[in-house]
Structure 1
Amino acid sequence: MFGLLLNWMKSNKMLPQISDTERQALEAGSVWIDGEFFGGNPDFSKMLAEAYSRVSPEEQAFLDGPVEELMRMIDRYEINRTKQVPPEILEFLKSKGFMSFLIDKKYGGLKFSKLAISTIMAKVTSYNAGVGTYVVIPNTLGAAELIIHYGTQEQKDHYLPKLARGEYIPCFGLTEPTAGSDAASIKAEGEVFRDADGEIKIRLNFRKRYITLAPVANLVTLACKLRDPQELLGKGQEPGITCLMIHKGTPGFSSGDHHMPIGDAFDNGPLYGKDVVVPAGNIIGGVERAGQGWKMLMEQLAGGRAVSLPAGAVGGAKAVAAATGAYSMVRQQFGIAVGRMEGVEDKVGKIAALSYLLEASRVFGCSALDAGQEPPVTSAILKAYTTELSRQLIIDGMDVFSGAGVMQGPNNILGIGYSTAPVGVTVEGANIMTRTLIVFGQGAIRCHPHALEVVHGVEEGDVGKFRKHLLGWFGHVIAGFGRTLVRGLTRGWTVSVPEVAPETRTYYRRLGWAAARYGLYTDLAMFAIGGKLKARGKLTGRYADALAWQLLGFSALRRFEAEGRRAEDLPLVQYALEYSLTQVQQAYEGIIANFDGLLGSLLRLLVTPGLRLNPLATLPSDRLSHAAALTIQSHNAQFQRLTEYVFTPPENAGGLGRLLRAFRLVTEVQPILAKIHAAQKARKLPRGTAEELAGEAAHLGVIEREEANQVAAALAARLEAVEVDVFKPEQYYTDSKGSQGIYFGAPEPKRVVNG
């Protein structure tokens, strides 16, 4: 019976078909807490036991020392104006080991934790991407990481010390005009041959684009499709995707041209190769690793997506929180701080709470990597949702800054980040693709308790394995129906919740309820839609949303527990969870509304009324929005803790420096202004702004003369902080003769046709 069923499912393609490249992606890395949500019955005790780390004393000393020193060297406006990172900064990066965070100390590296690397990247990249790329690229997927994991000993001995010292500036050549998110479709080609002296070599032809540091790199790691017509490597005629190294100056290899990225200026450009010949020994890992490039990429991307891109996004979101909270209290209209107006306060509360959630997810994800996990589904979620959320929060921050946000110049705080935000959204696969193809496409099979084994059983014709896991799957579906019904009727009161803060217990219950529904809906999709799921991107995108917001919401809860249940942070946790669960609710409504066939019609008839009458959550209340906003509207210990690792320039500097000085002074005079307000209510002082009445209040003895001076200083600082840049005509206009020419693609002599 099961044998017949196996053959029927195989012939009718009832399960998703898995290609060789997809198989390698599915087998890369590990399943983490994402599996708890696919299982439909999360074990919160186990999940809370997962690491939530802090940087080590050595790493903190590096943050307090070289990183802070580096930040004070950066003139972000000048770097963007000239599009060049000054030589002294590059030398500082090399000499202090900023390019060696992945490399073991025996090779001259610093060997920091993933959390420390992410924290450094968050601080540097969110302030200036031009400098940040010289930290990010050497410490992410590329020469150092691949050599560490797969290189021969000879490659490690030669390359790692030079990479650690910055003698080699690396870049990674993957993306092409016809291969972006679909990296398995690259056209770059390498053909193995034996040269006249008998040495085995590889002739390369390629055209890459969007390669960060390509114009300045002297060591390129290239992904290509390797062909070996004479089978000289012993891997067949088509070994497959391979990663190898090319040195700048190799005949036929061309680099140095630039693309012009939107927003923050950073070195990015194309790579061209026409009959470039390299030794077979340039394959990372040597000849034995020929054809294993896709496996290498999938294994390292599984962890890497959780580090560099989330770091920049979360660092940016926290910088927005610091600046927007401050500006909302420094800027006044109608005699009050704009942050006290409910429309503005709503934006500030959202920024405060979601930046708290984003930081929680960054730290939690990196802690998992440092604990030995490499979860590809979680990494994809972190990449896609942190970059998208950061973009949303920057837009909200620009709304609060209003005119000060859109006037460019050295003192503009958010404008560059606003312009740069789309870059993170597109890197390492556009978020559209990550959301609609990767998260649920991989997760539904990899993280499900039975699906992958059923697929293996069908593919292998193993009736025993197929029977065991199919029956287990049926049992899982039945249990899922029961859990979803009971948890829905009780709003999660039957969910097992460990010892947590009493104020957050409701969120564990509702997450358990949401997870039961998620496990069931996943099973229904796998059975009813099966192999067609790949083509249903709109539907799978909603599944990705539901999973992502459950994971992000739990990250905020994990942070709250790890940081000692700080009562002052509770509004941020409550806002973050209400917001997250509302996104899950909306995803479920979209799934049911767009489910296929007769089952979809039944679900809409039976489930939709309950979804709407008994929702998981609604958007945070006005009261909660107010409480969340207050957490970043006073220059106090909480503000400084919530914006930890955001670079704060000296108070005598422009931009954020002068804004935070004004914010500090405005916060300090609030008790003094309260005395003036009280005197006004008692009719001891006339109507008017408290700041303007400070002198008269001192004269009448309502406040001390020194206090009046404090108010005057705060007023002066506030007025200075809201000024925008003004340029004289000779500074503003550019001679058209000095403008740079822009072209698309490569000049004709460098154009390469792959084939």
Structure 2
Amino acid sequence: MSLMSATPHQPTVTEREARQVAEAAREQDWRKPSFAKELFLGRFRLDLIHPHPMPADEDAQRGEEFLAKLRDFCETEIDSARIEREARIPDETVNGLKELGALGMKIDTKYGGLGLTQVYYNKALALVGSANPALGALLSAHQSIGVPQPLKLFGTQEQKDTYLPRCARTDISAFLLTEPDVGSDPARLATTAVPDGDDYVLDGVKLWTTNGVVADLLVVMARVPKSEGHKGGITAFVVEAGSEGITVENRNAFMGLRGLENGVTRFHQVRVPAANRIGPEGAGLKIALTTLNTGRLSLPAMCVGAGKWCLKIAREWSAAREQWGKPVAFHEAVGAKISFIAATTFALEAVVDLSSQMADENRNDIRIEAALAKLYGSEMGCLMADELVQIRGGRGFETAESLAARGERAVPAEQILRDLRINRIFEGSTEIMHLLIAREAVDAHLSVAGDLIDPDKSLSDKAKAGANAGVFYAKWLPKLVAGQGQIPGAYGEFRREVDLSPHLRYVERGARKLARSTFYAMSRWQGRMETKQGFLGRIVDIGAELFAMSAACVRAELLRKEGDHGREAYQLADAFCRQSRIRVEELFGRLWSNTDDLDRKVVEGVLSGTYAWLEEGVIDPSGEGPWIADATPGAAKRENVHRPIR
């Protein structure tokens, strides 16, 4: 074993410093109400989401007209099998999307965009993503986290006038934050942007740059050194992808999303005008996180599309396939999987549409709702795809190309499973989403009692915090004892032929129980609470289920009022809530009955080599090389594979 592969990478900042950087980047204030925040505090604010908010008539008309054009394009111009076979989206397909205006779905019409709402943008992504997930990823990376959204929120008018028209029609953009040794811990960001006159000079290497291989414009996060006249810190820049000194060194290949134009990009003495800086120095991470507040909704939107497709294939196949004298759908083991896919797709669409409409109305703070949608959508999307593969049996494991070659319908079930798997990793892995949401969920507690568990605070600060906490908890804790969930007739407007009111009463009781559990854990562990990642993950998962149940019931009532499959919607919402309640009860039980402490001991043994004997008897087919590639700044030594699409 080489020394490089045996020696772990040494962090350049301490754990505490890393936490401080992350804390400084989050939005500190809650200026608007938040349904999910209230839920974690034990307050079931149904009034914030019911009646279900609706888009304006002109927004809906504009959105439906575009969806009709987009559907026609997807059906006639997208060859998903070719994209999978060649591992590349044909240039003519990308250019067709440009002509359709798909690059500018979220960009205001005054800049040449379509001006779609978040609701219809997400519906469009679900549609395109169902045709081929790599196309959905291309459009999402360009608009949700690429140049358009940061400029919309933080750009100067000059920047908007310069770049948004290009992004709306011709130029593809990418977002560059991750580095070979920097992922969810941006405090260790190594790419630098050194001030030099009216420019900044960028040096460094960026990894997993979705769209980076074909991009025309880049949003780059780089560290500005602190100096006289410069605050310094992680800063965001708009960079022309064709600038001298930029080299795309590799086009990465993955288990799924094979058409993804994702690469490794090196910056060597790249001059970027100061006018291209987005926001002030040091605001880069805050810009990134704020952008993701709504940007994260695009991923669960495509999971909704995947769920709909899984349901269609499951229905058609399980009706046609017979075993033991009847269609496999009517065998309970298969039927339960179909029921799960149908109910979960309904609920996930409810979560995404509700969160998106709240984003459009801008009356609520949806940072937790969007994060929950991303977390829940990515996890449930993978489960639904896995169940489809199981329903299809051997045909689920077989590629569409192979199925067609032997005369059967080319159903890419194994592909959807591979394509969806990345969703649990990028734009915030499930583990990071748990921590991010948990931090927001306990914000009210930290605001009043945080100084009590902060080792850097003085005794007087702790005394003051203790007094404030006493006042807060004296008012808050008694409200967690009883609520509407204990009143038999509560939420009676949801009592129809199928009665959803018991589920909403369960959510109300569950929210109070969740808040009590969180408070008990904080009292028990205090400053060590942040290390209890297993506990925090379960708390967040319970909140996600409660949110999904709420959204499903509200959507069912909306569809009933509109006369659009209302009875069926109530049935699906009921099925989902019953399934969800089983998961919630299990999660509540595992809050206090788990193997977290034992797991830590086992991990210590694994890393110390205590169980190395267990690894004997196998061959490791891995190749040679370091675990993490060298990212030392300097001139490129590899060919530039950047290829703008014209």
TM-score, structure 2 length as denominator? Answer: 0.82
- 1:282 pairs, out of 260, 263, 276, with 276
How far apart, in 2, do the equivalents of 1:596 and 1:332 lie? 44
Name 1:508's counterpart in structure 2: 504
Distance 2:253 2:270 in 1: 26
For residues 59-85 of structure 1, the C-alpha deviation after alignment (integer angstroms, 9 at most, x for no partner) is: 101111234323421111111111222
Residue aligning to 1:19: 20
- Does the CA-based 8 Å contact 2:104-2:169 persist in structure 1? yes
Any idea what SS the aligned residue of 1:546 has?
Answer: helix
Give, in angstroms, the shift of residue 116 of structure 1.
0.5
Deviation at 1:17, TM superposition (A): 12
Q: Specify the code of the residue in structure 2 equivalent to 1:438.
A: L
Deviation at 1:99, TM superposition (A): 0.6
SS of residue in 1 equivalent to 2:390: helix
CA distance 1:253–1:95, shift in 2 (3 Å): same
Check conservation: 2:37, 2:440, Cα contact below 8 A.
Answer: no
Q: Distance in 1 between matches of 2:415 and 2:35?
A: 35
Task: Compute the displacement of 1:465 (Å).
Answer: 8.0
Whether 1:339 and 2:329 are equivalent positions in the alignment is yes
Q: Structure 1 residues 493, 216: CA separation in 2 closer, same or farther (over 3 Å shift)? A: same
Corresponding residue number in structure 1 for 2:433 = 434
Map of 2:391 onto structure 1: 400
Distance 1:245 1:19, change over 3 A: same
Secondary structure of 1:428's counterpart equals coil
Tell me, yes or no, if the aligned pair for 2:190 and 2:222 is still in contact at 8 Å.
yes
**Partner SS for 2:235:** strand
Please state whether the residue corresponding to 1:102 is helix, strand or coil: coil
Taking the aligned partners of 1:397 and 1:120, their CA distance within structure 2 comes to 24
Q: 1:329 Cα shift? A: 0.5
Shift of 1:293: 1.1
Find out whether 1:75 has 2:68 as its counterpart: no
Q: What is the rounded CA distance, in whole Å, between the counterparts of 2:637 and 2:251 in structure 1? A: 15
TM-superposed deviation, 1:50: 5.0
Contact kept? 1:41, 1:512, Cα under 8 Å: yes
**Compared CA separation, residues 302 and 751, structure 1 to 2 (3 A):** farther
Q: 1:52 to 1:106 in 2, by over 3 A?
A: closer
Q: Distance in 2 between matches of 1:17 and 1:124?
A: 38
Conserved 8 A contact 1:181-1:429: yes
Which residue, 109, 115, 124 being the options, matches 2:113? 109
Partner-residue secondary structure (3-state), 2:215? coil
C-alpha contact (below 8 Å) 1:101/1:109 kept by paired residues: yes
SS, match of residue 529 in structure 1: helix
SS at match of 2:44: coil
Instruction: Give, as a single letter, the amino acid of the residue that structure 1 aligns with 2:411.
Output: N
Name the CA shift for 1:423/1:473 in 2 (closer, same or farther; >3 Å). same
Q: Which residue in 2 is equivalent to 1:729?
A: none
Larger radius of gyration: 1
- Contact kept? 2:351, 2:551, Cα under 8 Å: yes
Residue ranges of structure 1 left out of the alignment (5+ in a row): 1-15, 195-199, 598-742
The corresponding residue for 1:715 is: none
Residues in 1 aligned to 2:544 and 2:184: alpha-carbon distance in whole angstroms? 20
Contact 1:28 1:298 in 2 (8 A): no
Q: Deviations over 1:260-280 (max 9, x none)?
A: 021231111111112222222
CA distance in 1, matches of 2:129, 2:471: 50
Quote the residue 1:615 is aligned against.
none
Q: Deviations over 1:708-745 (max 9, x none)?
A: xxxxxxxxxxxxxxxxxxxxxxxxxxxxxxxxxxx995
Do 1:44 and 1:498's aligned partners in 2 also have CA atoms closer than 8 Å? no
What's the offset of the Cα at 1:316? 0.7
How far residue 18 of structure 1 moved from its aligned partner, in angstroms, is: 6.8
- Gaps of at least 5 residues in structure 2 are 1-16, 402-409, 598-626, 639-646
SS of match in other structure, 1:99: helix
Q: Does the 8 Å contact 2:311/2:338 carry over to 1?
A: yes
SS at match of 2:104: coil
Residue 109 of structure 1: how far off its partner (Å): 0.8
Q: Does the aligned pair in 2 maintain the 1:477–1:523 contact within 8 Å? A: no
Superposition pairs of residues 320-399 of structure 1, within 5 angstroms: 320-372=310-362, 373-399=364-390
Would you say how many aligned residue pairs link Structure 1 and Structure 2?
568
Q: Relative to 1, partners in 2 of residues 1:462 and 1:97: Cα closer, same or farther, differing over 3 Å?
A: farther
Q: Distance in 1 between matches of 2:281 and 2:635?
A: 31
Q: How is 1:508-547 mapped onto 2 (pairs within 5 angstroms)?
A: 508-547=504-543
Deviation at 1:469, TM superposition (A): 5.0
CA distance in 2 between counterparts of 1:52 and 1:388 reads: 27
Contact 1:25/1:295, CA 8 A, preserved across alignment = yes
Q: Which amino acid aligns with 1:412?
A: V
TM value normalised by structure 1: 0.71
Report the 3-state secondary structure (helix = DSSP H, G, I; strand = E; otherwise coil) of the residue aligned with 2:164: helix
Per-residue Cα deviation, 1:662-703 (whole angstroms, up to 9, x for no partner)? xxxxxxxxxxxxxxxxxxxxxxxxxxxxxxxxxxxxxxxxxx
CA distance in 1 between partners of 2:432 and 2:464 (Å): 36
Counterpart pick for 2:161 among 154, 157, 162: 157
The answer on whether the counterparts of 2:107 and 2:114 sit within 8 Å (CA) in structure 1 is yes
Query: 1:579 aligned to 2:563?
Result: no
Matches within 5 A, 1:710-729: none
Question: Equivalent of 2:493, from 481, 494, 499?
Answer: 499
Query: Are the equivalent residues in 2 in contact too, given 1:170–1:219 (CA < 8 A)?
Result: yes
Aligned to 1:621: none
1:115 Cα deviation after fit: 0.6
Which residue matches 1:201?
199
* Residues 162-173 of structure 1: pairs in structure 2 closer than 5 A: 162-166=166-170, 168-173=171-176
- Which SS does the other structure have where 2:145 is aligned? coil
State the match for 2:241 in structure 1.
Answer: 248
Match of 1:44 among 43, 46, 50: 46
> How far 1:463 sits from its partner (Å)?
7.5
Residue 304 of structure 1 corresponds to which residue in structure 2?
295
Q: Deviations over 1:147-190 (max 9, x none)?
A: 12211222111111111112x22111011122212234322111
Distance 2:636 2:306 in 1: 37
| 3-state SS of 1:246 partner | strand
**More off after superposition, 393-402 vs 50-59:** 50-59
Query: Which of 238, 255, 280 in structure 2 is aligned with 1:262?
Result: 255
Q: Is the 8 A contact 1:257 1:270 kept in 2?
A: yes
| Aligned partners of 2:138 and 2:210 also within 8 Å | no
> How much does 1:551 deviate?
0.6
Q: Is the 8 A contact 1:261 1:268 kept in 2?
A: no
Equivalent position amino acid for 1:284 in 2 = I
Cα contact 1:501–1:561 (8 A) shared by 2: no
**Number of the residue aligned with 2:404:** none
Aligned residue identity for 2:254: P
Match of 1:564 in 2: 560
Structure 1 match to 2:284: 293
Q: Which residue of 1 aligns with 2:614?
A: none
Distance 1:468 1:206, change over 3 A: same
Moved more, 38-47 or 21-30: 21-30
Q: 1:219 aligns with which of 217, 220, 240?
A: 217
